[in-house]
């Protein structure tokens, strides 16, 4: 039987792509940018699985979707609202804040509790602070180290930020998309949209154009995945300043290395 990993990291995500982005980037940032040399050494690909285990809320899953979060809250009888001490009013978070609230509460029903909670989802352009992850975590007030991948607006935007032309077919595809949009989506992925049928700025549509010659938009497409697994973090930070990507990387640097150092 394989030895149990030293740390259990709970991943709650909206879908497969947002889960992969959050998980892979978290490991990369620790491996490449952790403050201490010994942490970077432990996160070498050859031994990292002995250092941390990605888990979900149900057996044999390495991440949890909203359905799993809701089922855990329901089975554990967790309240989905809190009482505000100053006014006595009960507050029930909504939107992505509700997801973060439930994820934090659900995390603390695990035994042992996870060493880290990672939450990942698209913002779909939401700007109301009361509907963001931070508000849900504030209301939940649970003692678990947490990092949040708030992807503005669509998960594909972060992938496009990591797209660096490798051949003439990709160069031509980017040129055509740039001409259609009037801007370079790899440099301004925050200007892409979500769920707008027929809109040229739709992130999924743009991604399908850029990866048409290399296997399409799929986690099984190595070219697609290399955009966040191999593109230099410095470039992702530069290009992702307005899409939440740079903020997520900074959050990992601030929270996760500290969590690892505590043991």
Query: Domain residue spans in the chain?
Result: 7-152+244-261, 156-228
| Mean pLDDT over each residue of the chain, to the nearest integer | 95
Show Cβ contacts of residue 261 under 8 Å, excluding neighbours closer than 6 positions: 36, 39
pLDDT in tens, 221-251: 999 999 999 999 999 999 999 999 999 999 9
pLDDT in tens, 15-38: 999 999 999 999 999 999 999 999
Tell me whether residue 15 is exposed, middle or buried, using C-beta atoms within 10 angstroms of its C-beta: 0 to 12, 13 to 18, 19 or more: middle
Token pair listed for 48: 């990292």
Is residue 165 within 8 A of residue 174, CB to CB? The reply is yes
**Overall average pLDDT of the 189-214 stretch:** 92
What pTM did the predictor assign? 0.95
Provide the pLDDT for residue 3. 62
Could you tell me the pLDDT band of residue 256, with boundaries at 50, 70 and 90?
A: very high
Residue 70 has pLDDT above 80, yes or no: yes
**What does DSSP say about strands 146-151 and 116-122: parallel, antiparallel, or unpaired?**
parallel
CA gap 172, 183 in Å, rounded: 15
Provide the pLDDT for residue 1. 43
């Amino acid at each position: 039987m394989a030895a149990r990993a030293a740390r259990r990291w709970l991943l709650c995500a909206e879908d497969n792509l947002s889960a992969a982005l959050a998980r892979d980037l978290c490991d990369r940032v620790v491996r490449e940018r952790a403050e201490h040399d010994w942490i970077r050494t432990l996160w070498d690909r050859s031994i990292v699985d002995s250092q941390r285990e990605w888990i979900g809320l149900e057996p044999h899953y390495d991440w949890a979707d909203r359905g799993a979060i809701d089922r855990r809250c329901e089975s554990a009888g967790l309240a989905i609202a809190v009482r505000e001490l100053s006014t006595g009013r009960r507050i029930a978070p909504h939107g992505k804040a509700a997801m973060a609230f439930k994820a934090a509460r659900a995390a603390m029903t695990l035994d042992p509790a996870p060493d880290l909670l990672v939450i990942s989802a698209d913002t779909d352009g939401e700007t109301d602070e009361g509907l963001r992850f931070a508000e849900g975590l504030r209301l939940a007030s649970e003692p678990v180290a947490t990092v949040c991948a708030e992807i503005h607006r669509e998960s594909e935007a972060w992938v496009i930020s990591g797209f660096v032309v490798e051949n003439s077919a990709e160069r031509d595809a980017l040129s055509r998309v740039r001409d259609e949009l009037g801007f370079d989506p790899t440099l301004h992925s925050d200007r892409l949209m979500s769920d707008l049928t027929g809109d040229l700025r739709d992130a999924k549509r743009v991604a399908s154009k850029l990866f048409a010659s290399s296997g399409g938009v799929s986690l099984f497409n190595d070219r697609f995945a290399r955009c966040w697994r191999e593109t230099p973090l410095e470039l992702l930070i530069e290009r992702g300043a307005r899409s939440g990507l740079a903020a997520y990387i900074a959050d990992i640097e601030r929270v996760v290395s500290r969590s690892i150092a505590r043991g």
